[in-house]
Structure 1
């Protein structure tokens, strides 16, 4: 065996060993969930009921990939890309025209002692606080608090979406159950430096008790300057939310309070509201109940009452079935209702 070949073989073994060590310090995961349901929908103000097979009864379907690389000394590089899709027709996104990775698409650094800094498209801290403190979590079909907060018409709910593009976000390390999250989104348009979105939340978890405080200010919805097209003179929105929950084991109680103010040249709109909910173990599953109320004053005087009752039964840690009824009433309109059964599985 020649000396050159021995050197080549030794070099190859060292390279292979080094590559194996590098791979061992990195990880990439594919995951997601599929949620589909069948039932009926009558929106407030409509005269008829539509029988439907839809997606996202309890949770919006999505898939994603995430990964980390250990850089040493308690520092990791990390990324996450997640996209929604509609299982009822196979289209990507939450709706027609939604972007491919509208749930999350970011890269960043994570430190054991300094926290996590990421850049890209980010789920907002306000959305996280909203879903953690109501029993229907992130259900856009049956969840009263989610529906009132993120599905309300102009002057009745949040603008700026549940995820922000062109954003920078920071999460503190956990300090005895307390963490803070901050996010800032750029308008990315020349001459529109003042058009931005920013916000944050505090999250506290200690035994059976948990609580949150969230705040955000938004000066555009999708593109800088577009609030004026929704309501003439609409320039910005501020929102604050308080939430708390306590798990007694035989029942878990949820409560939220929310205040939203739209700054409008022709007259501001303010909205006060909140949500009370319970989750009660029954058999292997849980009974879910929630009531949400909102009242808008100022240029718009609107009241909204929403309530929901459901049962969620897990077949396993990955798969559950559910049945739910959602009632919705907006002042001046006929009542709406949604009811149905569905199945959800995680992978």
Structure 2
């Protein structure tokens, strides 16, 4: 009898050990607040009109609300197999996030990846964030937030280039790429590299819909540096037959330095259509300043300038200031205000998803809560 119970106990131990080697986690965040904007438009169309001020409940003052599932299995030798499913939703309406197709939505529109990690770094396959967006966030004091940041400035380039704001397939750079293969190297004395290739999967056209990018990053001693190259074919031509046209290129250099709670950032970027620079050729310049008063409270500010290199009359300047207070490890209260001066055909926004009419200046303010789970 003792032998029998010993065997049962041994099996239970081994079963527990096997179970401990893998895990699945449900995670996410809800971010909602009140926003006021002095001018607003119904869309990002080049002929959109100013409809006047707007006051509303708004999702995503810091980042969008999202949820996901992620898991990891230890296969030994320092290697793990990982997966991630993640998608955004609108906390004020319950709607799902945008997909690549105009008007479409997707449950997991941000990440649907499976991959492997180990001493060599990580390799992931599927729809995922592009390496360029992490590099931009690391070199922006405002951390590429949804309100007044390098993310909004980069989206401003896309709006000027004709992005309708109703899909995730933008004409300059990319926030997400579908069918992507991404390798991220380990850090070596603070330096790392990210490489991406996304086959287009178009029959008879090897270049049709393909995307490739390379990112170099350095992070050490309070200094973050980033260099980005992104190139894509047939971007935002969903209504046309893919031809392999090289029409999306983005270059970016950024830096951020933090010492004794003070953070300073600066960046320079160029976005264009290399097949037709007369159609799209834009410049982006940013600067930021922030201070971490204590582990719970910080203030950040940023300046973001956009210019049409084909027409100097089209330019835009944005200023944003935000304060964040950690109520707990999972909950942040925030307040922020911004102003954008749009000239010519530029329609840079302050708040992600809240359009501004071309050539119209506006002021926006938002307060809200973000809770992570």
TM-score (norm 2): 0.82
User: Partner of 2:329: helix, strand, or coil?
Assistant: coil
Offset, 1:99:
1.5
**Count of residues paired in the alignment:** 335
Are 1:33 and 1:62, in contact at CA under 8 Å, matched by a contact in 2? yes
Offset, 1:17:
4.0
Q: Which runs of 5+ in 2 are unaligned?
A: 42-48, 164-169, 345-358
Aligned partners of 2:272, 2:201: CA distance in 1, in Å?
A: 25
Are 1:272 and 1:295, in contact at CA under 8 Å, matched by a contact in 2? yes
When residues 227 and 252 of structure 1 are mapped into structure 2, their CA distance, relative to the original with a 3 A threshold, is: farther
Q: Residues 195-274 of structure 1: matches in 2 within 5 Å?
A: 195=208, 196-221=210-235, 225-226=237-238, 235-265=246-276, 267-274=278-285
Offset, 1:331:
1.2
Identify the match of residue 70 of structure 2 among 66, 73, 76: 66
Name the structure 1 match of 2:364: 338
Aligned partners of 2:160, 2:232: CA distance in 1, in Å?
A: 13
Aligned partners of 1:280, 1:156: CA distance in 2, in Å?
A: 36
Offset, 1:27:
2.0
Larger Rg over CA atoms: 1
User: Partner of 1:298: helix, strand, or coil?
Assistant: coil
Are 1:240 and 1:260, in contact at CA under 8 Å, matched by a contact in 2? yes
User: Partner of 1:189: helix, strand, or coil?
Assistant: coil
User: Partner of 1:253: helix, strand, or coil?
Assistant: strand
Q: Deviations over 1:228-248 (max 9, x none)?
A: 79xxx9741111111111112
TM-score (norm 1): 0.87
When residues 281 and 217 of structure 1 are mapped into structure 2, their CA distance, relative to the original with a 3 A threshold, is: same
Q: Residues 1-347 of structure 1: matches in 2 within 5 Å?
A: 16-41=12-37, 42-43=39-40, 46-94=50-98, 97-112=104-119, 114-140=120-146, 142-151=147-156, 152-155=158-161, 159=171, 161-195=174-208, 196-221=210-235, 225-226=237-238, 235-265=246-276, 267-282=278-293, 284-298=296-310, 302-332=314-344, 333-347=359-373
Structure 1 stretch displaced more, 183-192 or 305-314: 183-192
User: Partner of 1:118: helix, strand, or coil?
Assistant: strand
Q: CA RMSD in A?
A: 2.7
Aligned partners of 2:274, 2:239: CA distance in 1, in Å?
A: 10
Q: Deviations over 1:261-302 (max 9, x none)?
A: 213448353212211001123464112110011111227962
Q: Which runs of 5+ in 1 are unaligned?
A: none
